[in-house]
């Protein structure tokens, strides 16, 4: 019987791996460690609620799904020091569903990219039942396009600092920026990096880490967004040199193919980064939130959540 189950799980594992390689899904469910897969950092697990196999990051003590019963990084529970930081490029689409079904149940502070028009931002914010800030980075034929930050009302009113970067070196029509929010216990930055390789990414990265509020604070700092580069690319060195690191699970199953991919081609460009070796917080868990119908029909990106516990 044990041999039969092992073969069954191996078969399921191979199917899921092939689906992941070809960009057909990403999983993050409640954890049950299959001992014969302990050589893998990510465990093949059975989610009793959904009746499906999936991957999840069980590297932290609380496991996956603690707090909300739906897998992935869990809910905040009753501890005000537990925060779910989230980044999501919604690709200018499905504002109602993304606000109601993805952002509302999955994140406490959220960086959102590619919002098209003030009206759509308002719809997203209302359906997420969050407070927020919208930063217009471009006017495309008179249509406002930009990024946002959303947060739970219970976190209070942060001090907001919006920044617009210089016009892109690659394309004069494109401009990027970031939003800095200083909350009572932490600082959060929402951003969207340029796509080109003309030095734009480096300029934004240097601008963020050079902000006086970031350099002079004693609070933990978290930076989230669509970075348009993976955590193993040279641009990440700017953050590493400023004592930041990716809080995503950055392990790969092949060259530039990530277990916690946020795009169908296996890439991870949607990240949340924080201070290295910080005594100000601990990461509880992280991953793609497991919400109903979470797939690439809602966006060309998947959301990513890192759940931390702030240490007073």
33 with 158, same domain: the answer is no
Task: Tell me, yes or no, whether 255 lies in a domain.
Answer: yes
Range of the domain at 41: 2-56
What CATH number has the domain bearing residue 247?
3.60.10.10
* One domain for residues 34 and 114: no
Do 140 and 195 share a structural domain? yes
Judge whether 77 lies within some domain.
Answer: no
Q: Is residue 240 part of a domain?
A: yes
What is the rounded CA–CA span in Å between residue 307 and residue 82? 7
- Residue 302's pLDDT band (cuts 50, 70, 90): very high
pLDDT digits (tens, 9 = 90+) for 90-119: 987 789 999 999 999 999 999 999 999 999
Q: Enter the pTM of the model.
A: 0.77
Residue 62 lies in a domain: no
DSSP conformation letters of 254-283: ETTEETT-SSTTS---EEEEEETT-SSEEE
Judge if 21 and 92 occupy the same domain.
no
What's the whole-number mean pLDDT along residues 173-200?
88
- Tally of domains in the chain: 2
Assess whether 42 and 87 both reside in one domain. no
Strand bridging mode 131-140 / 143-151: antiparallel
Q: What digits encode the pLDDT tens for the residues 277-286? A: 889 999 999 9
> Are 151 and 299 part of one and the same domain?
yes
Question: Do 91 and 143 fall within a single domain?
Answer: yes
Residues 102, 175 share a domain: yes
Say whether both 113 and 257 belong to one domain. yes
pLDDT value, residue 93 = 78
In a shared domain, residues 192 and 140: yes
Quick one: pLDDT band at residue 195, thresholds 50, 70, 90? confident
Least confident segment among 39-53, 106-120, 234-248, 285-299: 39-53
Same domain, 98 and 159: yes
In a domain, 61, yes or no: no
Q: Is there a domain that residue 28 lies in?
A: yes
Residue 65, domain member (yes or no): no
- Based on the fold, state whether residues 149 and 189 are members of the same structural domain: yes
pLDDT of residue 44: 33
Assigned token pair, 300: 């060309």
Least confident of 73-82, 133-142, 199-208, 245-254: 73-82
pLDDT exceeds cutoff 50 at 16: no
With a pLDDT cut of 90, the percent of the chain lying above it is 53
Q: What is the C-alpha to C-alpha distance for residues 115 and 179, in angstroms, rounded to an integer?
A: 14
What is the rounded CA–CA span in Å between residue 209 and residue 212?
8
Is residue 257 situated within a structural domain?
A: yes
Classify residue 260 by burial, with Cβ atoms within 10 Å: 0-12, 13-18, 19+: buried
Give the mean pLDDT of 202-224. Answer: 95
Contact indicator for 70, 281 with CB cutoff of 8 Å: no
- Over residues 30-35, the mean pLDDT reads 29
pLDDT band at 296 (very low <50, low <70, confident <90, very high): confident
Residue 21 binned pLDDT confidence (cut-offs 50, 70, 90): very low
**Would you place residue 15 in the very low, low, confident or very high pLDDT band (cuts 50, 70, 90)?**
very low
């Amino acid at each position: 019987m044990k041999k039969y189950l092992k073969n069954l799980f191996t078969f399921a594992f191979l199917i899921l791996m092939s689906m992941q390689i070809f960009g057909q899904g990403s999983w993050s469910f409640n954890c049950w460690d299959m001992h014969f897969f302990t050589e893998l950092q990510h465990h093949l697990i059975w989610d009793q609620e959904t009746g499906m196999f999936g991957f999840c990051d069980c590297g932290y003590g609380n496991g996956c799904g603690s707090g909300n019963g739906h897998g992935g990084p869990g809910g905040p529970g009753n501890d005000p020091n537990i925060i779910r930081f989230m980044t999501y490029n919604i690709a200018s689409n499905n504002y109602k569903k993304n606000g109601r079904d993805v952002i509302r149940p999955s994140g406490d502070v959220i960086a959102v990219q590619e919002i098209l028009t003030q009206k759509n931002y308002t719809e997203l914010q209302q359906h997420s039942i969050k407070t927020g800030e919208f930063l217009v980075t471009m006017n495309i034929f008179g249509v406002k396009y930009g990024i946002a930050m959303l947060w739970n009302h219970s976190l209070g009113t942060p001090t907001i600092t919006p920044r617009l970067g210089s016009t892109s070196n690659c394309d004069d029509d494109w401009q990027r920026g970031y939003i800095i929010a200083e909350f009572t216990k932490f600082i959060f930055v929402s951003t969207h990096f340029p796509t080109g390789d003309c030095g734009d990414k480096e300029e934004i990265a240097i601008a963020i880490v050079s902000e006086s509020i970031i350099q002079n604070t004693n609070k933990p700092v978290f930076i989230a967004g669509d970075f348009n580069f993976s955590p193993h690319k040279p641009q990440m060195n700017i953050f590493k040199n400023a004592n930041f690191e990716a809080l995503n699970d950055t392990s790969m199953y092949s060259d530039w193919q990530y277990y916690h991919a946020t795009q169908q081609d296996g890439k991870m460009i949607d990240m949340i980064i924080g201070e290295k070796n910080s005594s100000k917080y601990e990461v509880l868990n992280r991953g793609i939130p497991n919400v109903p119908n979470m797939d690439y029909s809602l966006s060309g990106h998947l959301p990513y959540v890192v759940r931390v516990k702030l240490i007073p």
